[in-house]
């Protein structure tokens, strides 16, 4: 089934200068009882965004009116822990299209790519500088060109190339879906099964 294509993106960013943000923080387990993919955004970072009484925590950057935009910039090892894809659904439902960090947990990265959320890996130094810049100047805009694999800070012109595997890049640019790809090689899978069973 066709998915939304990843177009050029130019936006301000929300900084989350914390390391090892785990998927239990992104979406706590008590919100995982749903049977559809919709509506997780309202509980994104629930226990950091709201206090016990349900009041917004003014110190958390998602609640800070200074910050807005379609890209979340977070410390290293973002998305570690549980495999819950609900974490990605919460981030996209909230309105983010990409997350920038110096590295991502493996399962989170796969989940993100399978949902059109672009995980962008940048060097530690670049990440540190970007986080500092956004906090100093929240109006800072970045441009993401997936085709050229470039992240550019609009005000300074500083640009950095990011890696993404070619297959996933094509999927995101064209809005293709992994399952469609796999269904398209059904015969190859059937032949593999025959060969495998014969070896038993």
Partner 1 sequence: MTPKTLFDKIWDEHVVSHIEGGPDVLYIDRHFIHEVTSPQAFNGLKERGIPVLRPGNTVATADHNIPTLNQDLPIREKLSRIQVARLAENCKYYGIDYFGLNHPKNGIVHVVGPELGYTLPGMTIVCGDSHTATHGAFGTIAFGIGTSEVEMVLATQCILQPKPKKMKITVNGNLPGGVTSKDIILYVISQLSTGGATGYFVEYCGSAIEQLSMEARMTVCNMSIEMGARGGLIAPDEITFEYLRQIPSIPGIPDPEKSIARWKTLKSDPDAVFDLELMIDASKITPMITFGTNPGMGMAVDGTIPFPDSKESAASFNKSLDYMGFKSGMKIIGQPIDYIFLGSCTNGRIEDLRAFTQMVQGRKKAHNVTALIVPGSKKVEQQAINEGLVKILNAAGFELRQPGCSSCLAMNEDKIPAGKYAVSTSNRNFEGRQGPGARTLLASPLTAAAAAITGKISDPREFII
Residue 182 touching partner 1 (CB under 8 A): yes
Residue 119 touching partner 1 (CB under 8 A): no
User: Got the DSSP string for 82-106?
Assistant: ---THHHHHHHHHT--EEEES-B-H
Residue 19 touching partner 1 (CB under 8 A): yes
Region binding partner 1 by CB under 8 A among candidate stretches 62-70, 133-141, 154-162, 166-174 = 166-174
Residue 185 touching partner 1 (CB under 8 A): yes
Q: Binding string to partner 1 for residues 29 to 68, with x set by CB under 8 A, is what?
A: xx-xxxxxx---------x----x----------------
- Backbone dihedral angles phi then psi of residue 31, each to the nearest 5 degrees: -105, 15
Residue 157 Cβ vs partner 1, minimum distance, rounded to whole Å: 25
Judged by CB under 8 A, the residue of 5, 7, 123, 124 near partner 1 is 124
Residue 27 touching partner 1 (CB under 8 A): no
Q: How far apart are the first and last CA of the chain?
A: 36
Residue 100 · residue 130 · CB < 8 Å: yes
Total site size for partner 1, rule CB under 8 A? 57
Residue 173 touching partner 1 (CB under 8 A): no
Q: How many CB atoms lie within 10 A of CB 121?
A: 17
Half-sphere exposure of 7 (CA within 13 A, CB side): 4
- Contacts by residues 163-170 (CB-CB < 8 Å, ≥ 24 positions apart): 163/121, 164/118, 168/113
Q: Exposed/middle/buried for 74, CB within 10 Å: 0-12, 13-18, 19+?
A: buried
Element (H, E) at 100: strand 98-101
Residue 28 touching partner 1 (CB under 8 A): yes
Residues that bind partner 1 (CB under 8 A): 1, 17-20, 22, 24-25, 28-30, 32-37, 47, 52, 75-77, 80-86, 88, 103-107, 110-111, 114-115, 124, 128, 165-168, 178-179, 181-183, 185-186, 188-189, 192-193, 196
């Amino acid at each position: 089934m066709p998915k939304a294509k990843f177009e050029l993106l130019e936006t301000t960013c929300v900084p989350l200068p914390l390391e090892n943000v785990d998927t239990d923080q992104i979406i706590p387990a008590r919100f995982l009882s749903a049977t559809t993919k919709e509506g997780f955004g309202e509980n994104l970072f629930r226990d950091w965004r709201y206090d016990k009484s349900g009041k917004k925590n003014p110190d958390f950057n998602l609640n800070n009116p200074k910050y807005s935009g379609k890209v979340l910039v977070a410390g290293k090892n973002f998305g570690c822990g549980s495999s819950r894809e609900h974490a990605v659904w919460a981030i996209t439902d909230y309105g983010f299209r990409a997350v920038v960090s110096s590295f991502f947990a493996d399962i989170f990265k796969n989940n993100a790519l399978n949902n059109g959320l672009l995980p962008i890996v940048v060097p530690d130094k670049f990440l540190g500088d970007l986080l500092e810049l956004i906090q100093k100047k929240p109006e800072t805009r970045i441009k993401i060109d997936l085709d050229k694999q470039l992240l550019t800070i609009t005000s300074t012109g500083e640009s950095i190339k990011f890696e993404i595997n070619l297959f996933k890049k094509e999927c995101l640019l064209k809005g293709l879906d992994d399952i469609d790809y796999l269904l398209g090689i059904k015969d190859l899978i059937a032949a593999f099964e025959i060969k495998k069973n014969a070896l038993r």
